[in-house]
Amino acid sequence: MASTHLDVPTPDGAADAYAAWPDSGGPVPGVLFYMDIFGLRPVLREMVDKLASYGYYVLAPNVFHREGRTPEEAPDLRRPQNRDAFLAEALPKLREHGAERAERDAGAYVDFLTARPEVAPGPIGVTGYCLGGVLALRTAAARPGQVAAAASFHAGHVVTGAPDSPHLTAERITAELHLAHAARDEAMTPQDVAALERALDDAGVTYTSEVYPGTMHGFTMADVPAFSPEALDRHWERLVALLARRLGTD
């Protein structure tokens, strides 16, 4: 495997990013990987590396690049005081990262990814976690001609009362989706899941929507208390199958 840290040009400055890809053979399909609220850190880089090992060029940008580059050292998120301190800083950034900013960045990320010499021509995939799950859906809606597969894992606030609620982008999505919900998640209740599925059905979107049993919000992340090894394995099965099916790598 090959990997690097790089900068992605956006309309609002450079976004630092991490990328990994197979170091042998020709160009491979591209996948955009959206971080969770805790940002780019060792556990996410390990996930990027693993996804790349299936035969993809995987690009993971720092979503909060406007507020600064990714810190060199990540806090130990298993310690409650560290999580609380990090969230106190991250939640205002999340509130600022609205639909307009998200779609503007999405275009920059997709353009950068598809222009890489390591990336083969053709459609790309997107996967996202927590806030990244919302961004994956917004990216699929923003670039329907380019995004063929999008996965969203334990995303929150996908259904809101706002006119720019993420679920209202369904009519613009042409990608096949996989939506993975936590069994216990105040930010994505069973009523929210049902509303999202209705919107996707009404728009004619091809999708799978699953509640992963016994899980809490954040279940894919090995460095938080909500982590579930079984759910992470299930996530890999669903994600790899979706990308292989839609990006022609079966």
Cα gap 111→115, rounded to integer Å:
6
Q: Is the dihedral of CA 234, 20, 60, 245 positive or negative?
A: negative
**What is the pLDDT of the chain when averaged over all its residues?**
92
pLDDT tens digit sequence for 106-161: 999 999 999 999 999 999 999 999 999 999 999 999 999 999 999 999 999 999 99
Q: Confidence class of residue 87 from pLDDT cuts 50, 70 and 90?
A: low
Over the Cα atoms of the chain, what is R_g? 17
Confidence at 168, pLDDT banded by 50, 70, 90: very high
Looking at 25-39, 78-92, 146-160, which range is the least confident one? 78-92
Q: Which residue has the higher pLDDT, 159 or 73?
A: 159
SS3 at position 152: strand
| The pLDDT of residue 218 | 94
Confidence of residue 93 (pLDDT cuts 50, 70, 90): low
Lowest mean pLDDT among 91-100, 147-156, 159-168, 212-221: 91-100
User: Is the confidence at residue 83, as pLDDT, over 70?
Assistant: no
Q: Which of 142, 103, 99, 98 is nearest to 124 (CA)?
A: 142
Q: In percent, how much of the chain has pLDDT > 90?
A: 78
Provide the edge-to-edge strand list for the sheet that holds 30-34. 2-10, 13-21, 57-61, 30-34, 124-129, 147-153, 176-184, 207-216
**Contact indicator for 135, 15 with CB cutoff of 8 Å:** no
The DSSP secondary-structure symbol of 93 reads H
